[in-house]
Amino acid sequence: MKKGLVFGLIGGALGLLYLWSKKSSVTNMIDKLTITPRLGGSLKLDAGSTTTSNKIGKFLQKVVNYVTDSAYVVVPIDVDFANRSSQEMKISVQSVMAYIGEAMVASSVPAVSSVVVKANAVSTLEGIKMQIGTRTLLSIFGTNIQDWLTKGNFDNITKDLKIKIGAILNDAFTFDIMLDLGKSGQVDTTGAVTISGLGLTAASKRTIRPLSDYISLIPEKTNLRHHDYIVKANGSVVDTANIMHQAASADVESVRRLAQSLQRDTLTATLQSIFDFVYTHIQYELDSRFTEQVRRPLRALYDQKGDCDCFATLIGSMLEALNIPYKFRIAAYSAGRFQHVYVIVPTTDNVRGYYVVDPVLDKCFDEKPTTKFLDV
């Protein structure tokens, strides 16, 4: 028994040494990677569709679209990756987010997301389209609407725009970097490089908006029960499915006012609104390797963190508060075991027959292809 323990300790030490050396190697590579986000063309205003041929009617419709979610400014972004090392790099971009000040104003997942940069060379990821809602821009800049509609002058947007890129290097290491548009920079390797584990995890740590955004819409913290639902040691998402439904139902009243504030005129707009709220206010954080925890929705709202089952439980509770039917989808990927859970909303509006709401990913309605799944 002692011999087995010794071999186990040696094996563990060797494993840690291997991971450390691997991390050191990629850190050295990242030190020689320079990233530059830049404009890939001119900005364009999409003022939304109009239903009238009358000139005055068209103008008024544009004005209406402009102060709602129907119009946006398209910002084309290219990203240059300069590799000054002697080794080829593969960079897979998971997310691109646009910020003005502290506010995230747009997010995108590139259609072509991977780029291979040869040693001592520069490669460019092109064609990233950032769509910034004009209502968002008006709330930030207070720009005269007549100027925006007639002159299309968006210089103040590009002057203040910051681009945050979340990516994976060589299919093994995640990092993120925030840069001013047109400025070059390098990844801060102090705590920025992490080993990707099994399962589906968020591409990068997010900049989370404050609790003050919604605290007036949820019960006081004194109403919070000081416990979480905890599944048995080494629990999987399969073990948590039933209590996730219990947790979601138990907190419906706690999230009702918040859910109502996120409700929009259509189902897709409501789902997008809920996705955006969770994505920007709840940090993705893995549970302990040995204990799977399901935070009750009110707990997640106060903690402002959680993993995929916490995200799904919170979203499920808000959908229940709005009388929107949903299911939890438990998914398996290349490893063949169930390892992720997210919300689907049945619909007849698309060929899939459902909408996906999974804020672990960077875009609402996206779904990572599965090898098998179970809907509960």
Q: Strands 114-117 and 33-39: what pairing? A: unpaired
More confident residue, 180 or 23: 180
Cα 280 from chain centroid? Answer: 8
Structure tokens at 289: 């390797």
pLDDT score for 157: 76
Q: Is the pLDDT of residue 128 over 60?
A: yes
Inter-residue contact 298 to 250 (CB < 8 Å) = no
Helix, strand, coil percentages, rounded to 5, for the chain: 35, 30, 35
pLDDT score for 14: 42
Q: Is the pLDDT of residue 280 over 60?
A: yes
CA distance 222 to 212: 16
pLDDT in tens, 130-165: 888 777 777 777 655 556 555 666 777 788 889 988
**pLDDT range class, residue 325, cuts 50, 70, 90:** very high
**pLDDT range class, residue 363, cuts 50, 70, 90:** confident
CA distance 81 to 128: 14
Structure tokens at 285: 């954080």
**pLDDT range class, residue 191, cuts 50, 70, 90:** very low
pLDDT score for 222: 80
Selection from 83-87, 222-226, 279-283 with the highest mean pLDDT: 279-283
Supply the DSSP symbol for 216: G
pLDDT score for 13: 46
Q: Is the pLDDT of residue 2 over 50?
A: no
More confident residue, 349 or 190: 349
């000054």: which residue's tokens? 84
**Closest by Cα among 306, 322, 321, 319 to 355:** 319
Q: Average of pLDDT values for 57-75?
A: 62
pLDDT in tens, 246-260: 889 989 999 999 999
Q: Is the pLDDT of residue 16 over 50?
A: no
pLDDT score for 362: 84
Q: Average of pLDDT values for 209-228?
A: 81
Neighbours of 373 (CB within 10 A): 16
């190697």: which residue's tokens? 25
């399969």: which residue's tokens? 238
Selection from 110-119, 203-212, 314-323 with the highest mean pLDDT: 314-323
Return mean pLDDT, the chain.
77
pLDDT score for 196: 35
CA distance 297 to 10: 42
**pLDDT range class, residue 199, cuts 50, 70, 90:** very low
